[in-house]
Amino acid sequence: MAARGAGAEVPSEERGRVTITEIARQAGVSVPTVSRVVNGRSDVSPDTRARVEDLLRRYGYRRRPAASGARAALLDLVFDDLDSPWAVEIIRGVEEVAHAAGVGTVVSAIHGRSGDAREWMRNLRARASDGVILVTSALEPVLHEELRILGVPLVVVDPAGSPALDVPTVGAANWSGGMAATEHLLALGHRRIGLIAGPPRLLCSRARLDGYRAALEGAGVPFDDSLVVPGDFRPESGFTGCTALLDLPEPPTAVFAASDQMALGAIEALRRRGLRVPEDMSVVGFDDLPEVRWSAPPLTTVRQPLADMGELAVRTVLRLTRDERPAAPRVELGTELVVRASTAPPATTG
Amino acid sequence: MAARGAGAEVPSEERGRVTITEIARQAGVSVPTVSRVVNGRSDVSPDTRARVEDLLRRYGYRRRPAASGARAALLDLVFDDLDSPWAVEIIRGVEEVAHAAGVGTVVSAIHGRSGDAREWMRNLRARASDGVILVTSALEPVLHEELRILGVPLVVVDPAGSPALDVPTVGAANWSGGMAATEHLLALGHRRIGLIAGPPRLLCSRARLDGYRAALEGAGVPFDDSLVVPGDFRPESGFTGCTALLDLPEPPTAVFAASDQMALGAIEALRRRGLRVPEDMSVVGFDDLPEVRWSAPPLTTVRQPLADMGELAVRTVLRLTRDERPAAPRVELGTELVVRASTAPPATTG
C-alpha cells in the first residue's frame, strides 16, 4: 500500500481496523511513539505528533480496552456546571457503580465555555480516560467528533432532553411525568391549573408541557394558554411566574412547576402574599431533589431517577469499553409521582 | 551497606532520602520493577512485590512529583457519603482549581465501610493518584498510614471539626459562627433562645455550642441547659428537636439550629403546629446550603465557605506534590452570618 497524502480518503471498510503497528509503519515512527501520542503525552516532537494524529484521525482509530491488570480504569463525568441541583445525585449513581467496577470517576465542569471544553479534552487525552459520561447536550460538535476519533466511548445523561444524538443517551420520561403531575391535580378537583414551564429550547420543557396538556384534554378541561407562564428552571423564575399567575383576573387554584426549584420559588411567592400551601393553592414540582422532602410544606413532585440514570450510564459506557453494543441507543427511565403535603383539593369558594 | 533483614530499623535520617535505584539494588530487581510496584500495577510477582513494598515502607519512600508534561495529574477527592448536602459545594470548589491546574478530580465515596476504603486504596495506587483530599475525619488509621508510606500527599477538608491530625486540615470557624448566630438573635431582643445541637462526638458541634454559650454570657443571659436539645444534623432531628422545645412549659422565642438541614426540619415542625416563621418563632441555621435561599421563609444562617475550603485544599495538596510546605498545618476559614427572612424581633406577649 502506498503512503497516503495528507487528508487522503480512507475506504470505510479500513477505518477502525488498522493496528497501531500499521500506523507506526506509515508514520515512520516506533510503536511506543504512537502510543505516547494516543495517551496524550508531551514527550513527542510536534511534527511527529501531527503526522501520527493525522493517521489516527483518518483511520478512525479506536483504542483497545486496557488489558486487565494494567493501569486502573478511569471514567470522565462531565457537567456543564456543578451548581446544577441534580449534579450530586448523578455523581452518586455514577460513583457507586464505577467504584464497584474498580473504575475511578473524574468529575469536571466545562461551564459552557469552549476554552474549558478544549482544556478538558486535552486533559482527557492526557489521562487516557476510558470513557466519558456527559451530563449536557451542549458539547460542541467538533469536540464530540474528536471524542469519536479518539475512540473514547461516550454516553449522554440527559435530564434536559435533547434531539437524537448518534451516541447512547439516558433520559427520563418527561411527558409521562408532566401528565402524572397534572392528573394528580385534576383528581383532587382542580380545574384551573397553572403551569410554570421550562425553557422552550429544551425538549424536556416541551415534553412536560405536552404531558400537562394531554392530561387536561383527557379530563375534558380546555387548555388555556394564559395559565402557562415561562420559567428557566431556577427558583427566581418560579417566584416571578407564580406572581404573574396570582395577578391574573382569575388566578388558578393549583400550579404545576416544571422543576422543583421553580416550585420552591412559587411557594415563596405565595408566602409573601400571605397565601398558604396547600390550603389556598396547591403546588407540584418536578425532580424530587433531596431538599424538597423538607420544604415547607414537603413538596408533592415528580421523581426523576437521577441516581439510576447515572448508574445506567456507567453500565452502558463500561459495555462500550468492552466493545459491546448498548441495549438500546436511547433509554428513558420512568418518572414517578411522589405525593407529599403541598397538594390538596381546591378551597371551596364561599 | 549490608542488606537489612526484614523489618530492620532504618535510621530516621535515611528515611525518605533513599532513591528508587537504591531500593531496586537492595531488592535485587530492576528500577522499572520498583516503578511498577509503586504504581500499583499487577504485572509483578507476589514475592517481588512483597520484597519491594517492604523496602519502600521501611524507607518511608516518597514518590517524586511527576515530571512536567508526563501523564496528566489526578487528585482523589474522597467523601464518606455523597448524600451529604455539602458534597457538591466542595466538589465545585475543588474541581475549579484542579481543572485550572490541568489536574483531574476523581470523586469517590467510601461509605464508612472498611472494605470500601481498602478497595479505594487499591484503586488509588493503581491509578497512581498524585494527591488525596479527604472530606471526613473517619479514615481508618491503618489506611492513613498506608497513604503516608505511599508518599501520596493528603489534605483533610473538615467541616465537622476533628482532633488535630498530622496532616494539613482545612476547617471552618465554628465557634465564631455559633457566636454570631446567637448574637444576632440577642440583638433582635430574644432572651429565651433554644439550640438544636449537633452530634456531641463531633468537635464542630461542641464549638458551635460553646459559641452560643459565649454569646449568651456576653449579653448577661444565663445559660439554661433545658433549652439545648440534641440533633444529628439531619432534618428529622431538627423536626424532633424543635417539637421538644415547643413542648417546654416556657418555649423559647427563637431557635438556633446547628445545621441548615435541622433548621428546615424545625421550620416544618413549626408549620405543623400552625406557627409562623419569623412572626411566632425565629430560626437560624448553619451552613448556607444553596437551597435555603429558597426555603419558606428564606433562612437566616451562618455561611460555611465550603467551595473556598475545597479550593484551599487543592492549593495545599498541589503545594505538597511539589514538596513545598503548606502555609499552616490547620486553617479555619471564616464563617459569616447571612440575614434573610427567618428571624425577627420576638412577638410581644400581650
Note whether A296 and A186 are same-domain residues.
Answer: yes
| A238 inside domain | yes
B91, A105: Cβ pair inside 8 Å? no
How many domains does chain A divide into?
3
Q: Which of B288, B304, B320 is the last residue of a domain?
A: B304
Q: Is A274 on the interface with B (CB under 8 A)?
A: no
Contacts of A153 (CB under 8 A, 6+ apart): A130, A131, A132, A317, A320, A321
- The Cα A173–Cα B48 span in angstroms is 54
**Mean pLDDT within A277-284:** 97
On chain B, the residues whose CB falls within 8 A of the CB of A41 are: 69-71
| B317 inside domain | yes
| A51 inside domain | yes
Please state, in angstroms and as integers, the Cα–Cα distance from residue A48 to each residue in A24, A51, A55, A126, following that order.
10, 5, 11, 17
A96, B109: Cβ pair inside 8 Å? yes
Q: What is the pLDDT of residues A306-333, one digit of tens each?
A: 989 999 999 999 998 888 877 677 888 9
pLDDT at residue A209, as a whole number? 97
Note whether B40 and B85 are same-domain residues.
Answer: no
Note whether B245 and B203 are same-domain residues.
Answer: yes
- The Cα A338–Cα A301 span in angstroms is 5
The domain that holds A43 is classified in CATH as: 1.10.260.40
Average pLDDT, chain B: 84
pLDDT at residue A51, as a whole number? 87
Residue A66 predicted with pLDDT over 80: no
| B345 inside domain | no
The number of C-alpha atoms within 13 Å of A246 and in the hemisphere containing its C-beta is: 21
pLDDT at residue B124, as a whole number? 83
The 3-class secondary structure across chain A, one letter per residue, is CCCCCCCCCCCHHHCCCCCHHHHHHHHCCCHHHHHHHHCCCCCCCHHHHHHHHHHHHHCCCCCCCCCCCCCCCEEEEEECCCCCCCHHHHHHHHHHHHHHCCCEEEEEECCCCHHHHHHHHHHHHHCCCCEEEEECCCCCHHHHHHHHHHCCCEEEECCCCCCCCCCCEEEECHHHHHHHHHHHHHHCCCCCEEEEECCCCCHHHHHHHHHHHHHHHHCCCCCCHHHEEECCCCHHHHHHHHHHHHCCCCCCCEEEECCHHHHHHHHHHHHHCCCCCCCCCEEEEEECCHHHHHCCCCCEEEECCHHHHHHHHHHHHHHHHCCCCCCCCEEEECCEEECCCCCCCCCCCC
The alpha-carbon gap from A139 to the nearest alpha carbon of chain B, in Å, equals: 17
Note whether A181 and A297 are same-domain residues.
Answer: yes
With left for phi above 0 and alpha for psi between -120 and 50, is residue A249 left, alpha or beta? alpha
Q: What is the pLDDT of residues B158-202, one digit of tens each?
A: 767 666 667 888 989 999 999 999 999 999 999 999 999 999 988
Angle among Cα A53, A10, A164 to the nearest 5 degrees reads 80
Note whether A215 and A232 are same-domain residues.
Answer: yes
Note whether A223 and A253 are same-domain residues.
Answer: yes
The number of C-alpha atoms within 13 Å of B41 and in the hemisphere containing its C-beta is: 12
Q: Which of B81-90, B236-245, B262-271, B312-321 has the lowest mean pLDDT?
A: B81-90
State the first-to-last Cα distance of chain B, in angstroms, to the nearest integer: 89
On chain A, the residues whose CB falls within 8 A of the CB of B273 are: none
Residue in B closest to A108 by C-alpha: B95
Nearest to A123 among B104, B108, B264 (CB): B104
Q: Is A67 on the interface with B (CB under 8 A)?
A: no
Nearest to A88 among B87, B268, B297 (CB): B87
Residue B272 predicted with pLDDT over 50: yes
Residue in B closest to A80 by C-alpha: B92
On chain B, the residues whose CB falls within 8 A of the CB of A70 are: 41-43
What pairing do the DSSP bridges indicate for beta strands B131-135 and B154-157?
Answer: parallel
Q: Is B67 on the interface with A (CB under 8 A)?
A: no
Residue in A closest to B40 by C-alpha: A71
Nearest to B82 among A70, A92, A296 (CB): A92
- Residues B157, B133: contact at Cβ < 8 Å? yes
The more confident residue out of A67 and A267 is A267
| A229 inside domain | yes
- The Cα B330–Cα A292 span in angstroms is 36
pLDDT at residue B83, as a whole number? 78
**Mean pLDDT within A246-261:** 97
Note whether A213 and A314 are same-domain residues.
Answer: no
Average pLDDT, chain A: 84
- B109, β-bridge pairs: B79
- The Cα B258–Cα A219 span in angstroms is 48
Nearest to A102 among B123, B264, B291 (CB): B123
Instruction: Show the cell assigned to A124.
Output: 482527557
Q: Is B102 on the interface with A (CB under 8 A)?
A: yes
Residue with cell 459562627: B177
B297: cis peptide before it, omega within 30°? yes
Contacts of A220 (CB under 8 A, 6+ apart): none
- B108, β-bridge pairs: B78
What pairing do the DSSP bridges indicate for beta strands A336-338 and A300-303?
Answer: antiparallel
- Residues B169, B162: contact at Cβ < 8 Å? yes
B104, A95: Cβ pair inside 8 Å? no
**pLDDT band for position A348 (cuts 50, 70, 90):** confident
On chain B, the residues whose CB falls within 8 A of the CB of A102 are: 119, 122-123, 126
B72, A127: Cβ pair inside 8 Å? yes
Residue A15 predicted with pLDDT over 50: no
Nearest of A149, A48, A133 to residue A93 by alpha carbon: A133
Note whether B38 and B80 are same-domain residues.
Answer: no
- Residues B211, B176: contact at Cβ < 8 Å? yes
**pLDDT band for position B4 (cuts 50, 70, 90):** very low
Residue A5 predicted with pLDDT over 60: no
On chain B, the residues whose CB falls within 8 A of the CB of A82 are: 88, 91-92, 95
Note whether A24 and A121 are same-domain residues.
Answer: no
H-type helices in B225-305, by residue range? 235-246, 260-272
Residue A46 predicted with pLDDT over 90: no
- Helix, strand, or coil (residue B256): strand
Please state, in angstroms and as integers, the Cα–Cα distance from residue B216 to each residue in A111, A323, B223, B302, following that order.
45, 66, 7, 17
Q: Is A4 on the interface with B (CB under 8 A)?
A: no
Residue-by-residue DSSP string for B121-133 = HHHHHHTT-SEEE
**Mean pLDDT within A91-104:** 91
ipTM above 0.85, yes or no: no
- Helix, strand, or coil (residue B346): coil
Q: Using CB atoms and an 8 Å cut-off, which of residues 229-248 of chain A contact chain B?
A: 235
Note whether A23 and A78 are same-domain residues.
Answer: no
On chain A, the residues whose CB falls within 8 A of the CB of B289 are: 291
pLDDT at residue B161, as a whole number? 67
The percentage of residues in chain A with a pLDDT greater than 90, rounded to a whole number, is: 50
The domain containing residue A225 runs over which residues?
174-305
Q: What is the pLDDT of residues A148-201, one digit of tens each?
A: 777 789 998 976 766 666 788 898 999 999 999 999 999 999 999 999 999 998
B91, A69: Cβ pair inside 8 Å? no
| B114 inside domain | yes
Note whether B154 and B190 are same-domain residues.
Answer: no
- The one-letter code for the residue type at B308 is D
On chain B, the residues whose CB falls within 8 A of the CB of A307 are: none
Q: Which of A6, A32, A58 is the last residue of a domain?
A: A58
Nearest to B126 among A41, A72, A96 (CB): A72
Contacts of A103 (CB under 8 A, 6+ apart): A72, A73, A74, A75, A130, A314, A318
Residue with cell 441495549: A327
Residue with cell 415547607: A296
Instruction: Show the cell assigned to B92.
Output: 465545585
H-type helices in chain B, by residue range? 20-27, 31-38, 46-58, 87-100, 114-126, 141-150, 174-187, 203-218, 235-246, 260-272, 306-321
The domain that holds A328 is classified in CATH as: 3.40.50.2300
pLDDT at residue A150, as a whole number? 75
Angle among Cα B176, B177, B181 to the nearest 5 degrees reads 115
Residue with cell 445541637: B197
- The one-letter code for the residue type at A90 is I
Q: Using CB atoms and an 8 Å cut-off, which of residues 115-144 of chain B contact chain A?
A: 116, 119-120, 122-123, 126-128
pLDDT at residue A139, as a whole number? 63
Nearest to A104 among B91, B123, B271 (CB): B123
Cα Rg of chain A (Å, integer): 25
Note whether B200 and B129 are same-domain residues.
Answer: no
- Kindly report the number of other CB atoms within 10 A of residue A248's CB atom: 13
| A182 inside domain | yes
A108, B104: Cβ pair inside 8 Å? yes
Nearest of B292, B289, B241 to residue B265 by alpha carbon: B241
| A343 inside domain | no
Please state, in angstroms and as integers, the Cα–Cα distance from residue B332 to each residue in A297, B5, B36, following that order.
36, 45, 39
Contacts of B194 (CB under 8 A, 6+ apart): B227, B228, B229, B242, B245, B251, B252, B254, B255, B256
